[in-house]
Structure 1
Amino acid sequence: MQLFGKMSLLLLGISMSLCVSAEQTKVVEFNVKPGGVVHTFSERVSKYECTFTYASQGGTNEQWLMSVGLSEDDQLFSCSVWRPQGKSYLFFTQFKAELKGTKIEYANAFSETAVTGQRDVPLKPDEFTVGESTVTQRDGKFSAQLSKLTVIGRTRHEEL
């Protein structure tokens, strides 16, 4: 695994370990549906929300999970969307994750290689773009393979 990938996973692990309260974390199952139609799934914790918007082709519905969590100090909001079985057999024509109420500090998207079956292979940096509050595929660059998307945002606290 590349050094960047190891550092990313370490950062994710540290951030997720901050989410200790059951009231501040949720894991919800949802169906990813093929057919080329744009679908949206959202989940929130407190006043922070994660929205996953996608369109996919091929196969049948797949069960996916969305995890959202707020750190104990309310400084970080995390959102992960993934297929628990690993490889998705769907081809994603588009995807977007949007965090409401935060500014993205970290984001990464992953696929699974068909040849080796290696899980959580980071997408190439030119396959997606990270904005202030969204992570989106890059048209013409995205390989249409997605198995996991992880986004961490810093909450915006007003100074007194």
Structure 2
Amino acid sequence: MASQINLCAVHAAILVMFMLIAAFVPVDASSKTVPFNIKPGGTVNTFTESIEQYVCSFTSASQGGTNEEWMMSLGLSDDEMFSCTLWRPQGVSYLLFNQFKVELKGAKIKYANGYSQTAPAGQDVLLKQDELIIGDSVVTHAEGKFRSQLSKLTVVGLVKHDEL
């Protein structure tokens, strides 16, 4: 009888330990941030990441400078929004972009904004709305109006559902 009580106590202790671990270890597959490089030289490069079936692709061509490290953050919210943000951590890119395109797969774009430079003091410089073309699944530069400066892009889309 005493061994049964001890066995129950051990099982209870193990259960409590697993519950504590689960409470304090974040398991968040609904967001991630990854670094990537943009290579100048005028060649077109694409970087793609996904969360579940939702995909963000960034395609660009640029000139000047050297390889720059950029970041891509993806998020999938409970209110059925998928976000993709690309940025230069240093706030300013020394590359001149000939072109860029962000494409979302699995979501319809509801919001997009770009910045020519970002600053820690909150003095970010927005691209003019006529520098961007925003479609249902693609945000791209406006030929002849985009001024070649880019340091951050944010694109948010509503997750698509298959109709029954």
TM > 0.5: yes
| Counterpart Cα distance in 2 of 1:51 and 1:44 | 9
**Residue 158 of structure 1: how far off its partner (Å):** 3.0
Q: Please name the residue that 1:110 is paired with.
A: 115
TM-score (norm. length: structure 2): 0.79
Q: Please name the residue that 2:49 is paired with.
A: 43
**Residue 119 of structure 1: how far off its partner (Å):** 4.4
Give yes or no for the alignment of 1:100 onto 2:105. Answer: yes
Unaligned residue ranges in structure 2 (runs of 5+): 1-25
Superimposed CA distance per residue, residues 57-109 of structure 1 (whole angstroms, 9 cap, x where no aligned partner): 00100010000110134x10000000000000000000000000110000001
Runs (4 or more) in structure 1 with deviation over 2 Å come to: 117-120
Alignment partner for residue 144 of structure 1, among 144, 148, 151? 148
The question of whether the paired residues in 2 share the 8 Å contact of 1:52 and 1:97 is answered with yes
| Counterpart Cα distance in 2 of 1:44 and 1:25 | 10
Q: Please name the residue that 2:37 is paired with.
A: 31
Tell me which structure has the larger Cα radius of gyration.
2
Alignment identity in percent? 59
**Residue 121 of structure 1: how far off its partner (Å):** 1.1
TM-score (norm. length: structure 1): 0.81
Give yes or no for the alignment of 1:158 onto 2:124. Answer: no
- What is the alpha-carbon root mean square deviation over aligned residues? 1.8
Q: What secondary structure, in the 3-state scheme, does the structure 1 residue paired with 2:143 have?
A: coil
The question of whether the paired residues in 2 share the 8 Å contact of 1:37 and 1:55 is answered with yes
Q: Please name the residue that 1:71 is paired with.
A: 77
Unaligned residue ranges in structure 1 (runs of 5+): 1-19
**Residue 37 of structure 1: how far off its partner (Å):** 0.1
The question of whether the paired residues in 2 share the 8 Å contact of 1:103 and 1:154 is answered with yes
The question of whether the paired residues in 1 share the 8 Å contact of 2:96 and 2:148 is answered with yes
